[in-house]
Structure 1
């Protein structure tokens, strides 16, 4: 379950950013998670909420946006979304072109896990 380590890194990043901005409270954190990270948004949110207890992040609203995987196929030139099988028992996503089946592809998006914004309440 790599959600725990990712959540820990996010919590540390957000708390450090809040301290640099003299925040009293963090109201909301928006996060984007790419499909190819294989992070489960519900599990990630649970981990974030658990790790936030007794910190400036406690009671923060976490909004997680799942971003689709997009590829460019080096065989047929297809560019667009690919379907990831969420029901398979895997630790690694295998991606191929939905048009021709080729695995010689360039991943354009879907591997990201980013904190997009942090809404804070500043002290006086």
Structure 2
């Protein structure tokens, strides 16, 4: 819960400083590599909004799949962290770059790839209100 609470705090500070204290709709994209507990994140956002005097309407959380691109052969592939064991998912949760230790390009076997999308938390849309 500490991870989600910290993300919610940083998010609310940012949104309030850029868009003001009244938010009608907040749409967030949650990268699946981060393994964020969306219920805990939503709870944290709601609780902290009250503490920071942010009037918050709808909050929409949508998953963003993980997409990788091999630097050696150019192959792109998606990835489901749910296919990994709990210990591995926990490692990637705290350090998404740990994914490089647990996967490789399915085409050429290289571990030299980049994460195109699917990590972190992104503000997709804000409707002030």
TM-score over 0.5 (shorter chain): yes
Does the aligned pair in 1 maintain the 2:105–2:111 contact within 8 Å?
no
Q: Tell me whether 1:109 sits opposite 2:114 in the alignment.
A: no
CA RMSD of aligned residues (A): 2.3
Residue in structure 2 matched with residue 99 of structure 1 by the alignment: 106
What TM-score do you get using the length of structure 1 for normalisation? 0.77
- Structure 1: state its 5+ residue gaps: none
4+ residue runs over 3 A deviation = 74-77
Q: Tell me whether 1:6 sits opposite 2:7 in the alignment.
A: yes
What TM-score do you get using the length of structure 2 for normalisation? 0.74
Question: Aligned residues, how many?
Answer: 116
- Structure 2: state its 5+ residue gaps: 93-97
**After superposition, where does 1:1-124 map in structure 2 within 5 Å?**
1-19=2-20, 25-53=22-50, 55-58=53-56, 60-85=57-82, 88-89=86-87, 90-92=90-92, 93-95=98-100, 96-97=103-104, 99-100=106-107, 101-121=109-129
Give the match's secondary structure for 2:119.
coil
Q: CA deviation at 1:57?
A: 2.7
Residue in structure 1 matched with residue 95 of structure 2 by the alignment: none
Question: Deviation digits for residues 48-103 of structure 1, max 9, x if unmatched?
Answer: 01111252234x21111110110012455420211212761323253523625543
Q: CA deviation at 1:34?
A: 1.0
